[in-house]
Chains A and B, each alone.
Chain A
């Protein structure tokens, strides 16, 4: 049975076209992906991302459970701070990447769409196995998640709250009244722009908040944004999409997430990662910009002089650069910056250049 966001009928009225994603029927676009994409880069857009999950981790050893099951040492993350991290299997492959928010004596984690039950079960099993006094509770159904993203996101939200939003630092999180509704705000996002995310419960309050944000952003020409632009926005910034980039079992070293790993603590999967790191011969996620016409897509082969050296995990046309861009796993010998590789699109090789992330630089919209 396909799930719908509590905002489904409002979105339909606003002209959304829908798509199924990880068991949810969500807006893919309202006007057009390009238009929505550029709206977020240049001003502000409002996303419903309720397909993402919400799991509370509570109990006296909540911090310990997080430290054991993620690559982060949770004791480093103080109250009202959030952190991007990954949950690993014993073999070092990623189960899911997630943000956790430290909110008083509890933590909320935001697993990906459709990962709520798997992650909750995993955490509770590990709590039992390691005799840790903490529990994970799947509350995904109780929350609507909104993302307000773009250079005018703060100005938009500021109109709806008395708290000075400049005091909410990057990756800060806290309870806040927005449009008279108490919710959790975090200075986070998936677009590479200034942005905030709101966790709203009970879900029936979300429609009012959604409308109030659209009203507040009217002077900045705010638009509701679908998942199509969410995907192109994240790919331009080289952000991982779990369903694409972790498919088939990839470690955070392969996914070039080693910056998230805190090696000074013990966590599930650490031994496997250390072994992989020592060997060093693993494929790594690599960013590519096409220098010939064509659009790379998921599963296209990557070649060097006709020999297969990797595979595309995410590809699209970049609405900002107006060329094909891609992320994919490439053999370590062939991914040096500026190297020219070929991406095979419908049997035709398209030349692409290896670039450092992000594919589209920060503040692109201010210069274009």
Chain B
């Protein structure tokens, strides 16, 4: 555990991942990020419908000792949030790429998507 990078995802240099399907971008944090943060004990999710800009704070993830801001990899509107995390934040540690996703964003500008890192580039970074 700790450094899995999936080839079908896009990444940011701030350790978010993104998966785009029909203009809906599913966003989470990488395996590397969850391993660095350790026990995640609290997640503050955005309101559905909120407009977010690339690089701005999307949500907050807390471990016992630290508070970390998660940045939006793209601009758009929050379409859905993973409500399950409110009662089971540890899901992010257990399944960062599947069950532990954070937010779905309806994206406007697809060109931003192209600027994200691919798996190889992210692997080289961590």
Chain A residues engaging chain B, CB cutoff 8 angstroms: 28-29, 32-35, 228, 231-232, 293-295, 297, 316-317, 319, 346
**Which chain B residues (31-50) contact chain A, with CB distance < 8 Å?**
38-39, 41-42, 44
Q: A317 CA to B65 CA in the complex, in Å?
A: 8
**Which chain B residues (47-100) contact chain A, with CB distance < 8 Å?**
60, 62-65, 67, 86
Smallest Cβ distance from A346 to chain B, in angstroms? 7
Chain B: interface residue total (CB-CB under 8 A) = 12
Q: A13 CA to B116 CA in the complex, in Å?
A: 36
Chain B residues engaging chain A, CB cutoff 8 angstroms: 38-39, 41-42, 44, 60, 62-65, 67, 86
Can you name 14 extra interface pairs (CB under 8 A) apart from A29-B38, A297-B67? A32-B38, A33-B39, A33-B63, A33-B65, A34-B39, A228-B65, A293-B42, A293-B86, A295-B42, A316-B64, A317-B41, A317-B42, A317-B62, A346-B44
Q: A319 CA to B38 CA in the complex, in Å?
A: 14
- Residues of chain A within 8 A (CB-CB) of B86 are 293
- Residues of chain A within 8 A (CB-CB) of B65 are 28, 33, 228, 231, 316
Q: A297 CA to B60 CA in the complex, in Å?
A: 14
A selection of 15 A-B contacts at a CB cut-off of 8 Å is: A33-B39, A33-B64, A33-B65, A34-B64, A35-B39, A231-B65, A293-B42, A295-B41, A295-B42, A295-B67, A317-B62, A317-B64, A319-B64, A346-B44, A346-B60
Report the tally of A-B residue pairs with Cβ distances under 8 A: 34
A32 and B39 contact, CB distance less than 8 A: yes
Interface of A is mostly: mixed
**Whose C-beta in chain B lies nearest to the C-beta of A34?**
B39
Q: A319 CA to B64 CA in the complex, in Å?
A: 8
- Residues of chain B within 8 A (CB-CB) of A231 are 65
- Residues of chain B within 8 A (CB-CB) of A295 are 41-42, 62, 67
Using A293-B86, A317-B62, A346-B60 as known contacts, say yes or no to A33 and B38 having CB atoms under 8 A apart: yes
Q: A245 CA to B60 CA in the complex, in Å?
A: 26
Smallest Cβ distance from B11 to chain A, in angstroms? 23
**Whose C-beta in chain A lies nearest to the C-beta of B67?**
A297
- Residues of chain B within 8 A (CB-CB) of A293 are 42, 86
Using A32-B39, A317-B41 as known contacts, say yes or no to A232 and B67 having CB atoms under 8 A apart: no
Smallest Cβ distance from B4 to chain A, in angstroms? 18
**Whose C-beta in chain A lies nearest to the C-beta of B69?**
A346
- Residues of chain B within 8 A (CB-CB) of A33 are 38-39, 63-65
Smallest Cβ distance from A227 to chain B, in angstroms? 9
Smallest Cβ distance from A27 to chain B, in angstroms? 13
Smallest Cβ distance from B45 to chain A, in angstroms? 11
A232 and B64 contact, CB distance less than 8 A: yes
Q: A231 CA to B63 CA in the complex, in Å?
A: 14
Smallest Cβ distance from B74 to chain A, in angstroms? 23
- Residues of chain A within 8 A (CB-CB) of B42 are 293-295, 317
Q: A63 CA to B67 CA in the complex, in Å?
A: 46
Q: A32 CA to B63 CA in the complex, in Å?
A: 10
**Whose C-beta in chain A lies nearest to the C-beta of B36?**
A17
**Whose C-beta in chain B lies nearest to the C-beta of A318?**
B64
Q: A33 CA to B64 CA in the complex, in Å?
A: 7
Chain B CB within 10 Å — which of A32, A294, A295, A316 has the most? A295
Smallest Cβ distance from A59 to chain B, in angstroms? 42
Smallest Cβ distance from B119 to chain A, in angstroms? 26
Q: A316 CA to B38 CA in the complex, in Å?
A: 15
Q: A29 CA to B63 CA in the complex, in Å?
A: 13
Q: A250 CA to B107 CA in the complex, in Å?
A: 52
Q: A317 CA to B38 CA in the complex, in Å?
A: 14
Q: A294 CA to B41 CA in the complex, in Å?
A: 9
**Whose C-beta in chain A lies nearest to the C-beta of B93?**
A32
Q: A293 CA to B89 CA in the complex, in Å?
A: 12
- Residues of chain A within 8 A (CB-CB) of B64 are 33-34, 228, 232, 316-317, 319
Smallest Cβ distance from B87 to chain A, in angstroms? 9
Q: A319 CA to B63 CA in the complex, in Å?
A: 11
Q: A319 CA to B90 CA in the complex, in Å?
A: 13
Q: A346 CA to B44 CA in the complex, in Å?
A: 10
Smallest Cβ distance from B73 to chain A, in angstroms? 21
- Residues of chain A within 8 A (CB-CB) of B39 are 32-35
Q: A219 CA to B63 CA in the complex, in Å?
A: 30
